[in-house]
A and B are shown apart, each in its own frame.
Chain A
Amino acid sequence: MNWVGHYNYWVVIFLMMSGFYVVISRGNMIKKLLGLNIFSTSVFLLYISMGKIHGGTAPILTDNPNQVYSNPLPHVLILTAIVVGVATTAVGLALVVRIQERYGTIEEDEIRAKDDSL
């Protein structure tokens, strides 16, 4: 078991968890979206880490026939996932803006209080 070889994964897991922590521990809705962003960006890092080969280059054809290329498939998957991420952020933000207009706040506990008081 080569422990040193996994440091990259572990740091990425730490990043993921800090994003996840923001999502579940904060009441501010924009802050939660920031957390989601960190969470998903770190998952992207995990995927790309998997595709890396030591001594490889970017998967763009070169003249050298013996060139080692990194795995292009995770890159493609993550390109798609990035788009999904920004789309989710935008929709979430639209909801937050509407919530601010209708409730006058974006703190979850204040919103809950306003809902309960009705």
Chain B
Amino acid sequence: MIHLPVALVVIPLLGAAVCVLFRRSFIAWTVALAAAWSGFAISILIAVYIMKIGTLSYSIGGWPPPWGIAYHIDYLNSFVLLIVSGIAAVVMPYARTSVNYEIEEDSQAYFYCLLLICLAGLLGITVTGDAFNMYVFLELSSLSSYALIGMGKRRRALTAAYQYLVMGTIGATFLLIGIGLLYNLTGTLNIHDLAHQLAVNNIIGSHNRTLLTAFAFIIVGLSLKLALFPLHLWLPNAYTYAPSVATIFLASTATKVAVYMLLRFCFTILSGGFIFKLTLGKILLIPALAAILIASMVAIFQYDIKRMLAYSSVAQIGYMILGISLATPLGLSAGILHLFNHALMKGLLFMVMGAVNYRIGAVYLNDFRGLGRTMPWTMAAFVVGGMSLMGIPLTAGFISKWYLVQAALEKGWWPVAALILIGSLLAVIYIWRVVETAYFNPAQEMEAESSGEAPLSLLLPMWLLVLANIYFGIDSSIPVELAGRAATLLLGGAS
């Protein structure tokens, strides 16, 4: 029981090494599946434990926290852990069929290896309580995702991966500068010790210029990683041209973990978001709103549906940052909740894209004609996912939008609430285009063998997410509870 948090990271990491060792596609997939499921089981155990006890610490190497690297898990981490490992557990069964179709036999083992390393990196960022360790695992996950994206079939996958590599590395280097400045101020790297030292030495209160700069760099660096509006340029291409499995996994986890890092740095280190409440919240509000409006509008005009969903992701990230920038318990919990719900719905929608791509070979709007009849289950899943994205009641997306609007109204910012609703309206438009094409346009004259329902191995994980979307739309007590507790914890200061 004590060693569980470490197993979370070490199992996928060593699993990746085993994939390299055997280099057989099937063995690699089995290893990946086992690692992902055991990871999910462990995160559930940790979440149950956290709900009971509150926090969980683990010092690696037996060195106590400020000297060695320690894990520190509280409500927020365990919530994000559930998201990441849960999505991984759903994606892995799906991966076999999709990867067989999209990746050459020779490289499949490497694909699973990189996927596992990416998973290990994301989980590693989430559990660790050490700022520099976060950087190392961030690079681990980013490096593997560059390669995953570059493995896409079309040649634009390569340029997308390269663009992501350059922007991602700039972001990570900015983060490194920020962490370095923080370390210089305090002499420590442990996140909770950083918060403590900043408070004890009265650095937070004294308007320290180095501290401000450090946070400016950390926030810009992380905004690059989480694709906040003006810095999102890498995201649409990367998600569009990556192999389906990579898109599903990255879209529903990678940006979430970056948002998590932002929360950690801004709220835990600056005990209770001290600076955040004063100025930064307002600074982040503008790009968040711009993301919601502009990215949603751009999404309407996309003909590649994967690209449309990628732009919608940029908009959804805007919602999360909006919730965070309100910096009230309600707003923050809405933002955190949206992490979870967005992972559910975007995972689902991109899975639909993977299935359509498997049958049709492309995901342009025209390819959807008549799919309502030939692929009824897949398109039904798309409808549910779309409804969740719009925020229609009885789906998961509704819950977080509801809280978000409430939080905005609570602060008296009714224009913001109105903008949230307009964003949802735009989502209705772009989802409707696809639904209309699929159900009301006559099917193309297509050869018989390419049409037909997606195989069961793709449908089952997809419908698991459909059920999750509906279940968490009706009974949202568990995520709301966790997100609420995480928000109070963040605003109440460290420990």
When A and B assemble into the complex, do they touch directly, with CB atoms less than 8 Å apart? yes
CA distance A74 to B184 in the complex (A): 10
CB distance from A27 to the nearest CB of B (A): 12
* Contact, CB under 8 Å: B180 / A92: no
The B-contacting residues of A in range 72-118, CB under 8 angstroms, are 73-74, 77, 80-81, 84, 87-88, 91-92, 94-96, 98-99, 102-103, 111, 115
Q: Which chain A residues lie closer than 8 Å to B150 at the CB level?
A: 94-95, 98
* Contact, CB under 8 Å: A95 / B158: yes
Mark contacts of B165-196 with chain A using CB atoms, 8 A cut-off: 1 yes-contact digit, 0 otherwise.
11001100100110010011000010000000
B155 CB-CB contact with A under 8 Å: yes
The B-contacting residues of A in range 46-86, CB under 8 angstroms, are 46-47, 50, 73-74, 77, 80-81, 84
* Contact, CB under 8 Å: B165 / A88: yes
* Contact, CB under 8 Å: A102 / B169: no
Q: Which chain B residues lie closer than 8 Å to A92 at the CB level?
A: 146, 162, 165-166, 169
> Which residue of the partner chain, among B143, B155, B180, contacts A103 with CB atoms under 8 Å?
B155
* Contact, CB under 8 Å: A47 / B180: yes
Q: Which chain B residues lie closer than 8 Å to A84 at the CB level?
A: 136, 139, 143
The B-contacting residues of A in range 7-61, CB under 8 angstroms, are 20, 23, 29, 32, 36, 39-40, 43, 46-47, 50
**Interface size class of chain B, counting residues whose CB lies under 8 Å from the partner chain:** 20 to 34
Question: Which of B135, B161, B165, B189 has the most CB atoms of chain A within a 10 A radius of its CB?
Answer: B165
* Contact, CB under 8 Å: B132 / A77: yes
CB distance from A105 to the nearest CB of B (A): 11
CA distance A6 to B129 in the complex (A): 31
CA distance A77 to B420 in the complex (A): 43
* Contact, CB under 8 Å: B183 / A50: yes
B123 CB-CB contact with A under 8 Å: no
CA distance A111 to B161 in the complex (A): 14
* Contact, CB under 8 Å: A95 / B161: yes
B156 CB-CB contact with A under 8 Å: yes
* Given A23-B166, A23-B170, A84-B136, A102:B158 Cβ within 8 A: yes
* Contact, CB under 8 Å: B180 / A43: yes
CB distance from A106 to the nearest CB of B (A): 9
* Contact, CB under 8 Å: A87 / B143: yes
* Contact, CB under 8 Å: A91 / B165: yes
Q: Which chain B residues lie closer than 8 Å to A111 at the CB level?
A: 159
Q: Which chain B residues lie closer than 8 Å to A94 at the CB level?
A: 150
* Contact, CB under 8 Å: A46 / B136: no
* Contact, CB under 8 Å: B169 / A115: no
* Contact, CB under 8 Å: B162 / A81: no
B147 CB-CB contact with A under 8 Å: yes
Question: Which of B136, B139, B165, B173 has the most CB atoms of chain A within a 10 A radius of its CB?
Answer: B173
* Contact, CB under 8 Å: B158 / A99: yes
Chain A residue nearest to B138 (CB atoms) is A84
The A-contacting residues of B in range 96-154, CB under 8 angstroms, are 132, 135-136, 139, 143, 146-147, 150
* Given A36-B166, A39-B173, A43-B173, A91:B143 Cβ within 8 A: yes
* Contact, CB under 8 Å: B147 / A91: yes
CA distance A73 to B179 in the complex (A): 13
* Contact, CB under 8 Å: A43 / B136: no
Chain A residue nearest to B139 (CB atoms) is A84
CA distance A20 to B132 in the complex (A): 22
* Contact, CB under 8 Å: A115 / B159: yes
Q: Which chain A residues lie closer than 8 Å to B184 at the CB level?
A: 50
Mark contacts of B433-448 with chain A using CB atoms, 8 A cut-off: 1 yes-contact digit, 0 otherwise.
0000000000000000
Q: Which chain B residues lie closer than 8 Å to A95 at the CB level?
A: 146, 150, 158, 161-162, 165
CB distance from A85 to the nearest CB of B (A): 9
> Which residue of the partner chain, among A40, A80, A99, contacts B136 with CB atoms under 8 Å?
A80
CB distance from B209 to the nearest CB of A (A): 11
* Contact, CB under 8 Å: A29 / B162: yes
CB distance from A24 to the nearest CB of B (A): 8
CA distance A87 to B159 in the complex (A): 18
CB distance from A61 to the nearest CB of B (A): 18
> Which residue of the partner chain, among A23, A40, A46, A80, contacts B180 with CB atoms under 8 Å?
A46
CB distance from B119 to the nearest CB of A (A): 18
Q: Which chain A residues lie closer than 8 Å to B162 at the CB level?
A: 29, 92, 95-96, 99
Q: Which chain A residues lie closer than 8 Å to B158 at the CB level?
A: 95, 98-99, 102
The 6 closest A-B pairs by CB, nearest first: A102-B155, A95-B162, A84-B139, A99-B158, A50-B184, A98-B158
Q: Point out residues on B near A: beta carbons under 8 Å.
A: 132, 135-136, 139, 143, 146-147, 150, 155-156, 158-159, 161-162, 165-166, 169-170, 173, 176-177, 180, 183-184, 189
CB<8 Å pairs between A and B, sample of 15: A23-B166, A40-B173, A40-B176, A43-B177, A46-B177, A50-B183, A74-B183, A81-B176, A84-B139, A88-B139, A91-B146, A92-B166, A95-B146, A95-B161, A102-B155
